Amino acid sequence: MQLSRYLKNSDTLIAALIGFVAVQVFCSYSGIGISPDSIMYISAARSFNASGTLHTFNHVPIVDFPVFYPIFLGTILLITRVDPVMFGAILNGLMFASLIFTSGYIMQRFVPSARVYKWLMLVAIILSPALLQAYSYLWSETLFILETLLFLVAFRQYLLKHTVKALIVAALIAAISCVTRYAAVTIVGTGGVLLLLDRVLPLKKKIVHIIIYGFVCISLLVSNLLFNALMSGTTTGPREPSITPFSKNLYYFGTVMCDWMGLTPNQYFLATPLAVIILLGFIAALAYNYYRRRVDSFENLAITFALVYGLFIVLSSTFSRYERINHRLLAPIYIPALWGYTSWGLLLLKNIANKTTKNIVAAIFIVMMLGFVTKEFLIDKARYSDQIADEYGNPGYTDNSWLESPFAAYLKSGDKSLFKPGVKIYTDAHEAVYFFSGMSSYLVPHKFFKKDIAKFYQAKRYYLIWFNVLENPELINLKDIQKVKSLKKIKDFGEEGAIYEYQEVQ
């Protein structure tokens, strides 16, 4: 009995420690991964620490992203006096460990539960390529994914107790999530769906609880959006309409699911049918649990969130343009989807009376899961070989290509003799200019915004820092500019790019 009690807690703690170490391993060569989004968060965090404002490196309020993650990083910077780039790997390791520990806590409360199932799931979470990638970068998903599980824990407490206090706790977690990532409206939606499906509350009390829940959930988000509107004139920054139809986004969703299931790109023809089956499966499971009056189980909460979030990503990608649906965007549903499509096995085993049959079914399930985690391990091993053993680093601004870049080295040197004070600096990667030099610059216009392009061409003098290796098809390119303006090359970095100057002839 004592051994059982010890294992019940120690296995989760051991898994959490292994998860922490895994993140450190994937950040061991060149530190935490840094992408353009990361630099937005870093600069806003530094601004928060220095002046209490949330300005990006261009000295404008951060509006493309919610405010909580930069505040989170800035608060740690304020307390520790260590820059986010330096503490990123440790911070993400601690959050990944917390995610794993919370997952173990939840799985101990599955009905029915099984220790072997829990161990297999913990291994699958630790080895998840999608989660390990997210926690190898300074991204807000790292905090958002953890908040998602904390919300499931809090909302289940509400479903068990139905007290206003428990409801407000869950709603506050949802509110904070909404100012961590805008996609957290799916957490609000998850709670709303479960409130509507809950048969315990009388209708009048249910309406009151829905109003309280909704008001608390959106309070911080509305405040954030109003602040953005006042500061920039837009609620979430400039957004372009989508160029990918629903069918294509459903396909991209399916390709990620194929990758998670260990299928190869040669089998992507299964992507769309697989996406449809997965989403319909979540709907069917939710309906089944409602019919069985088991909406308060962790399994049902996970299924509901996976459904709401999955549909949100596919639909929002159909109307608004952002990065193509990928592992990063869908990482928040990895754990809920994993539970949703495996926890049924526990229920199946419970209902099998014949011991021999039960053992056979359990053995088949274990073999399938071992095959799944083996494929995950092989993907992680290949990534380790490419990025750590071969000394490349996490792709981004801290990888080996930038560590050895003469262009980056020049910007890091602090030599600003080329740039005369008061003259604007434009670039095709303003976050890179800031990250390597600390200088502010302006992004050349997007092709979609014609007025911005016209205004850019009216400028009488500017510098242009151009990175050939980062050319963005969404922006006007160097050839477009050279057709209109006569640029003078003042610093050449060969294939990497160059620094140009333009001055209108009087």
pLDDT at residue 6, rounded to an integer? 53
pLDDT (average), residues 58-82:
93
Question: If pLDDT is split at 50, 70 and 90, which confidence band does 4 have?
Answer: low
Say what percent of the chain tops pLDDT 90: 75
Does residue 231 register a pLDDT over 90? no
Distance CA 344, CA 359 (A): 16
- pLDDT tens digits for range 81-109: 999 999 999 999 999 999 999 999 999 98
Residue 294 reports pLDDT greater than 80: no
Environment class of 62 (CB within 10 Å of its CB; exposed 0-12, middle 13-18, buried 19+): buried
The predicted-structure confidence for 132-182, as pLDDT tens digits, reads as follows 999 999 999 999 999 999 999 999 999 999 999 999 999 999 999 999 999
8 or 211, greater pLDDT: 211
For the chain, domain boundaries = 2-389, 405-503
Kindly give the pairing relationship between strand 497-503 and strand 488-492: antiparallel
Average pLDDT over residues 321-350: 90
Distance CA 244, CA 247 (A): 8
Per-residue pLDDT at 162: 94
Residue 117 has pLDDT above 80, yes or no: yes
Comparing 346-355, 467-476, 484-493, the range with the smallest average pLDDT is 346-355
- Name the more confident of 378 and 355: 378
pLDDT for res 349: 83
The answer to whether the beta carbons of residues 134 and 145 sit under 8 Å apart is: yes
Sheet arrangement for strand 461-467: 442-443, 425-427, 461-467, 497-503, 488-492
Amino acid 5: pLDDT: 58
Q: Is 415 exposed, middle or buried (0-12, 13-18, 19+ CB in 10 A)?
A: exposed
Helix residue ranges per DSSP H, 292-394: 298-319, 327-330, 334-340, 344-350, 355-384
Question: Within 10 A of 248 (CB to CB), how many other CB atoms are there?
Answer: 17
Evaluate whether 321 touches 239 at the Cβ level (below 8 Å): yes
* Cβ atoms < 10 Å from Cβ of 283: 12
Inter-axis angle of helices 141-161 and 84-107, nearest 10: 30
What is the DSSP code string of 426-475? EES-HHHHHHHH----EEPPBTT-HHHHHHHHT-SEEEEEEEGGG--TTB
Which one has a higher pLDDT value, 26 or 60? 26
Per-residue pLDDT reduced to its tens digit, 391-448: 899 999 999 999 999 999 999 998 888 999 989 999 999 999 999 999 999 999 998 8
Share of the chain above pLDDT 70, in %: 98
Q: What is the pLDDT of residue 1?
A: 47
pLDDT at 225: 94
